Amino acid sequence: MEGGAGLSNPRTVEEVFRDFKGRRAAIVKALTSDVGEFYQQCDPEKENLCLYGLPNEQWEVNLPAEEVPPELPEPALGINFARDGLSEKEWLSLVAIHSDTWLLSVSFYFGSRFAFDKADRKRLFDMINGVPTIFEVVTGNMKKQTKEKSSAANRNGNLSKSDSKVISSDGKNSKAMQANNEEDGSEEEDEDEHGETLCGACGDGDGTGTDDFWICCDVCEVWFHGKCVKITPARAEHIKQYKCPACSNKRARP
């Protein structure tokens, strides 16, 4: 697709949020697990390029839309020109900030187009605000939030990093180390206060599938769905120290 942001036609708050999450997941993938390919495609010798996140969770680097005004709001133009003038970390952070802004503009474009009222706009914003920003994922700024949630979960016997860095979707440790489930009662208030743990890549909470599992980055202590960072339970068993894609790419490219 040349010059387009991925056509979609969501009409309800839930549909717009689903569109937002698909586009967000695509951009997170480009800036983390697919960062090598993304870096190569952003050649400063090429024309003005944009990073598009599509509703189907696929991303692409392409020229901007030719029509004026475009069908949808356009992402930041010319991201490739700044690539070699900044460290990789700074450049990715800059792209992440502009991408967060673009995602909001697309979502509220749909809100205006389909005449969302004040209550719907607030509900949409609250849903979006409940998901970590791309900037937070790429820079590891979720660390403080995740530590707070992990602390609350540890008091309730869930997601205990001291037990293991990998858990399955039913809360059982995949390395057969049993969590402490003795404390409950009044501790439920802490759990409600901090909410569920969110995946640092897709932003979703605890999975419900029997084969879903989580892995925690030993650097930033952010939790991820294994499928989001391409780590299987079998592979995780042989990882002594796991680094998420963002932490693995926190060094300047020579």
Chain segment 112-132, per-residue pLDDT in tens: 999 999 999 999 999 999 999
Any idea where the domains of the chain sit in the sequence? 13-139, 197-253
pLDDT over 70 for what percent of the chain? 70
Question: How far apart are the C-alpha atoms of 65 and 72, rounded to whole Å?
Answer: 9
Mean pLDDT across 191-201: 63
pLDDT of amino acid 212 = 78
pLDDT of amino acid 245 = 80
pLDDT over 90 for what percent of the chain? 47
194's CB contacts (< 8 A; 6+ apart) are 148, 149, 151, 152, 153
Question: How far apart are the C-alpha atoms of 103 and 59, rounded to whole Å?
Answer: 13
pLDDT of amino acid 206 = 64
Q: Which residue, 100, 95, 110, 134, is CA-closest to 17?
A: 110
Lowest mean pLDDT among 28-32, 148-152, 177-181, 190-194: 177-181
Superfamily designation of domain 197-253: Zinc/RING finger domain, C3HC4 (zinc finger) (3.30.40.10)
pLDDT of amino acid 75 = 95
pLDDT of amino acid 74 = 94
pLDDT of amino acid 83 = 94
pTM: 0.66
Amino acid at 23: R
pLDDT of amino acid 167 = 56
Q: With bands split at pLDDT 50, 70 and 90, how would you rate the model's confidence at 54?
A: very high
Lowest mean pLDDT among 31-35, 52-56, 105-109, 197-201: 197-201
pLDDT of amino acid 3 = 47
